[in-house]
Amino acid sequence: DKPASSPRRDQDDRLLGGLLSPAFDEQSCRSRYASPSLYRRPSRFRPSPYLAARLRRYEARHRRCGPGTPLFEEAVERLRSGRNAARSECQYAVWTPFNGLGNRMLALASTFLYALLTDRVLLVHAPQEFDGLFCEPFPGSSWTLPAGFPIADFDGIFTMLSPTSYKNMKKAGAINGGDHVNVTAETLPAYVFLDLIQSYTDAAFCEADQRVLAKFNWMVVKSDVYFATAFFLMPAYRRELARLFPEKEAAFHHLARYLFHPSNDVWGIIRQFHEAYLAGADERVGLQVRVFPELPVPFETMYGQIMRCSEQEGLLPKVARQDAAAPSPDGGKMKLTSILVTSLSPEYYERIRGVYHANRTESGGYVAVHQPSHDGAQHTEARGHNQRALAEIYLLSFCDRIVTTAVSTFGYVAHGLAGVRPWVLLRAPAPETPAEPACVRSLTVEPCMQAAPRQMCGAAKGSDIGALASYVRHCEDVHGGVKLF
């Protein structure tokens, strides 16, 4: 039975249960209000009313402090003058991209959560290859740094050795001669760089550090990890996060569905592919095969692992034995399964498609296999390539079951958006040695925070970060990482 539809219910659906603001022009961003039920099964997670209210409050602040406002001009002038001021009405977190699109989306969502928790306004440094991938997320304003912003050479300034980075400032005693607890805002530089790249995630998650960081009106954040998880382990944010995300497992799911709306160009690619190849299927299985260039796994080893995983977990339709009698459809319609393969290489798709061309399935159902693109190699510097990558992350997120490759942030974003727990193809101990088991079902929808801090503040020396709270665990695919569930 279809649930009775009413205008109120439809509106609630369209706005993802209050997550999205209704205040946008629909044509400027067609993906935002596209009826979710056309593309995905309903999410099992609902945003809390408190999260919705906090987002509306955030949007109001962004409108008041964002680019083009007098408060923004004032803040930019102070930045240009090189001096920090006592806490001003508007404070900013400027996100700058690093690594591939999956890494970028995880870091951007984390930076947004940080802005939400610390009452900052999120701005995005968008180089040409990133520009135009997403719609503006905040109504009546922009998140893009305007032309003429005083900091231009992001790649040159924001490196590991930059004297503007918080941990280097601390090391050099630049923060009030090392007495960083009693530091006054006026003595600080005009901005601070928060370097949260991979193994450096331990630089900023102490409450004493957060108190100093809060005094900088401008902050630049560069990261390639889902560092949002770390805030859930800090006592200072625990209460607020529990109200924002009563279901911790859905934190990224809600953040991503709020923040990331593919631009009309990208949405065009997504819609066309969906209509042609996925919409008519009874079931959609997404298979993401990522072979990292630094860890090349031979095709046969990886293909074998996918098949073992499928066999073990009953994922892809089973092929009938040659001598099996043809099943009769009983007059009913045969089930159609669409398998969506995403990979930089076409080989997995070709082999799997070949199998279903040459064989009947055990159930008699039909199987169609599709792959949208196969660019061969990663080209994060090219906008067209990133558009295809984003389209494929979305298409994967429309699938009912998702199989992802260990360690890949591309896969994390897809299953996070979908709100489903993926089957994760585990990393083999060595390129030629098969992984055992081939895959495991993830405990949670949340992405893994890879390269977790070695130790959290206040925790006993040597204590295991994966055991600090009842709601974190080490990741199945990256043992040093942790994730919420």
Asked if 408 is part of the footprint of ligand GDP (rule: CB under 6 A), the reply reads yes
CA gap 46, 63 in Å, rounded: 26
Binding region for ligand GDP (CB under 6 A) out of 99-107, 142-150, 172-180, 347-355: 99-107
Asked if 423 is part of the footprint of ligand GDP (rule: CB under 6 A), the reply reads no
Binding region for ligand GDP (CB under 6 A) out of 146-154, 190-198, 261-269, 379-387: 379-387
Contact 109, 31 (CB under 8 A): no
Binding region for ligand GDP (CB under 6 A) out of 178-186, 198-206, 262-270, 407-415: 407-415
Contact 270, 395 (CB under 8 A): yes
Please pick, from the candidates 378, 427, 443, 469, the single residue that binds ligand GDP as defined by CB under 6 A.
Answer: 378
Asked if 481 is part of the footprint of ligand GDP (rule: CB under 6 A), the reply reads no
Asked if 392 is part of the footprint of ligand GDP (rule: CB under 6 A), the reply reads yes
Side by side, the strands of the sheet bearing 192-196 are 121-124, 92-96, 218-223, 192-196
- Indicate the helix (H) or strand (E) that contains 423: strand 423-425
From 307, 241, 276, 236, select the one nearest 458 (Cα to Cα). Answer: 236
Strands (E), 73-177: 92-96, 121-124
Looking at beta carbons, which residue is closest to ligand GDP? Answer: 100
Site for ligand GDP in 6-65 (CB under 6 A): none
Paired with 123 in beta bridges are: 94
Asked if 361 is part of the footprint of ligand GDP (rule: CB under 6 A), the reply reads no
Cβ distance to ligand GDP smaller for residue 142 or 380: 380
Contact 421, 476 (CB under 8 A): no
Residue 457 CB, shortest distance to ligand GDP, in Å, is: 28
Pairing state of beta strands 482-484 and 472-474?
Answer: antiparallel
DSSP summary character for residue 344 = S
Count of residues near ligand GDP by CB under 6 A: 22
CA gap 474, 482 in Å, rounded: 4
Asked if 103 is part of the footprint of ligand GDP (rule: CB under 6 A), the reply reads yes
Asked if 478 is part of the footprint of ligand GDP (rule: CB under 6 A), the reply reads no
Please pick, from the candidates 227, 260, 349, 410, the single residue that binds ligand GDP as defined by CB under 6 A.
Answer: 410
From 360, 389, 423, 303, select the one nearest 100 (Cα to Cα). Answer: 389
Site for ligand GDP in 430-449 (CB under 6 A): none
Site residues, ligand GDP (CB under 6 A): 99-103, 288, 290, 342-344, 373, 375, 378, 380, 385-386, 388-389, 392, 408-410
